[in-house]
Amino acid sequence: MAPHTPAAAPAGHRRFLVKLTIIATLGGLLFGYDTGVISGALLSLREDLNLTSMQEGVVVSSLLFGAMFGALLGGKMADKLGRRGSLLICAGLFLFGALGSALAPDVTIMVIARIVLGLGVGAASVTVPVFLAEMAPADRRGRMVTINELMIVTGQFLAFAINSLLDQLIDDPHVWRWMLGVSMVPAVVLLIGMCVLPDSPRWYAIKGRLTESRHVLDLSRPEREAAEEYQVIVTHAESELLRDRGAALRDLRAFPWMRRLLLIGIGLAVASQATGVNTINYYAPTILESTGLGASAALILTITVGAVSIVGTIIGIVLLGHFNRRPLLLTGFSGIVAAHIALALVFLLPDSMMRTYAVLGAMLLFMFFMQTFVGIGTWLLLSEIFPMTIRGFAMGVAVFMLWTANTIISFVFPIINAALGSTGTFAIFAVINVISLTFLAKTLPETRGRTLEELEDDFRNHGARITA
């Protein structure tokens, strides 16, 4: 089916979509900042709180542990309370988690606060892409959803940059408190902003709130397009309520095509973390320190990782406007395999500044392929492929598995690296990503150019095997 090509939206509709995207993707900004900030804060935090190696690992992984269950919580909240209600709760979790971690007097309070932050990160990582996908016109869905990935990497870049800036400006062992506390500001803005936004027209429709569904469409589409899409959404919601509606687990048992989509989503989510992306995000300063750099120099060079992530994401958003999702994702995983091979080889070089910059160059190559092709493609596909009646639940399960993989890999990375060395560790990542590439080449559907309802009908009729 050819992509939709509706007329350009009037200025009022564009302003509404821009406002909605900016406010909602503050959840992505906080996701990025709160996951990235620990890499720099850890350098002073470990000394100020006298952390053991085990406690250090617990502090880092506690957010990821919270995110695992936040993903399940976010999926259920998104279905029960709506996408807007879920994001309001996320904003509260971000605010109190940031405050608690910045004021933590000991490691116990720090871990509790990081778990609270993780609940917010996990819930937002489910809800924001779904909310944007359901609010967006079909021809703008790819761009709107992938803005969230841009905000995630921008948050990580800001974390790296603010860590380095505060390290230079504040000569105090408590500097980590400022690093961790900065994220309270966007959390407050998200909380206020979500109070003025409506929920998605598709969630309203599935709850029988049809007047509100039509009102939201009128805010974001020209009148004719809104009327046409409203009829499709209402018809589809009514048929879903009659045919597929029920407890999510019961639907999954009853409909093989839903199970297949969930398995594809889980596989894609796990593969995105098996790239090893967060070993770079969380341990970049530590990896660079291991090549002979001082702590401050390592923090400064880590900023380049965030900068490449932003540039790559912008390029990826542009590419998504011209190319299908599936080939872009497969290109990304192919590049990641090559980058891991390069990382494995550069660690064989003798100690020197050339080796340091070669390691940095290979890390930047990895981040370019990751953020240009894989990062944005993963979150976009996950927001598109699941049927409406189980969308929040299925997204929650897939993202729960994403964060589970993230937690396990982040925890075992320093252990494997100590046992096998960097060359052996990144060689293992290369092999894992060859396996991921093979799996995705056989299973990934193509979603570009169809409404969410058209995709769902295609998946139902063809057993979730749409590839073009």
Q: How far lies 247's CA from each of 81, 315, 339, 370, in Å? A: 16, 40, 43, 36
The whole-number pLDDT of residue 2 equals 42
DSSP 244: T
pLDDT one digit per residue (tens) for the chain, 468 residues: 444 444 455 778 889 999 999 999 999 999 889 988 887 888 788 888 888 877 877 888 889 889 999 998 888 898 889 999 999 999 999 999 999 999 999 999 999 999 999 999 999 999 999 999 999 988 888 888 889 888 988 998 899 889 889 988 888 888 999 999 999 999 999 999 999 999 999 999 988 899 999 999 999 899 999 999 999 888 888 776 655 555 677 778 888 888 999 999 999 999 999 998 877 766 777 777 777 777 677 777 778 888 898 999 999 999 988 899 999 999 999 999 999 999 999 989 888 888 888 988 998 999 999 999 998 899 899 989 998 878 888 888 998 999 899 888 877 887 888 889 889 999 999 999 999 999 999 999 998 888 788 888 888 887 655 444
Q: Would you state the structure tokens that stand for residue 65, as one six-digit string?
A: 């542990």
- What is the reported pLDDT for 57? 76
Residue 336: which of 346, 325, 326, 344 has the closest Cα? 344
Sign of CA dihedral 65, 68, 74, 76: negative
CATH number for 11-197+244-462: choose from 3.40.50.300, 1.20.1250.20, 1.10.1040.10, 3.50.50.60.
Answer: 1.20.1250.20
pLDDT at 243: 56
For residues 271 and 439, the answer to whether their CB atoms sit within 8 Å is yes
Instruction: Report the distance separating Cα 92 and Cα 107, nearest Å.
Output: 22
pLDDT of residue 81: 92
Whether residue 162 contacts residue 306, with contact meaning beta carbons closer than 8 Å, is answered with: no
The letter for the amino acid at 245 is R
Q: What's the token pair of residue 364?
A: 């930047």
Cβ atoms of 204 and 212 within 8 Å: the answer is yes
Distances (CA, A) of 21 to 137, 264, 440: 13, 27, 29
Question: What is the C-alpha separation between 463 and 301, in angstroms, rounded?
Answer: 48
Contact 45, 159 (CB under 8 A): no
Identify the pLDDT of residue 9: 55
In DSSP notation, 73-118 reads HHHHHHHHTHHHHHHHHHHHHHHHHHHHHHH-SSHHHHHHHHHHHH
Render 185-221 in DSSP notation, one character per residue.
HHHHHHHHHHTTS---HHHHHHTT-HHHHHHHHHHHS
Q: Which amino acid belongs to residue 302?
A: T
- Domain range summary for the chain, segments of one domain joined by +: 11-197+244-462
Q: Comparing C-alpha atoms, which of 413, 445, 433, 407 is closest to residue 71?
A: 407
| Alpha-carbon gap, residue 444 to 451, rounded angstroms | 18
Contact 300/453 with Cβ under 8 angstroms? Answer: no
Q: Is 291 helix (H, G, I), strand (E, B) or coil?
A: coil
pLDDT at 241: 62
* Alpha-carbon span 133 to 127, nearest angstrom: 10
- The Cα 1–Cα 3 span in angstroms is 7
CA atoms of 273 and 286, how far apart (whole Å): 19
> Rounded CA gap, 374 and 268, in Å?
10
Do residues 282 and 302 touch, judged by C-beta distance below 8 A? Answer: no
The two structure tokens encoding residue 218: 């009128």
The rounded Cα 254 to chain-centroid distance in angstroms is 30
Cα pseudo-dihedral 256, 262, 264, 267, rounded to 10: -140
Instruction: Please tell me the predicted confidence (pLDDT) of residue 245.
Output: 52
Q: Name 250's Cβ contacts closer than 8 Å, sequence gap at least 6.
A: none
Q: What distance in Å separates the CA atoms of residue 180 and residue 151, rounded to the nearest whole number? A: 18
pLDDT at position 407 is: 83
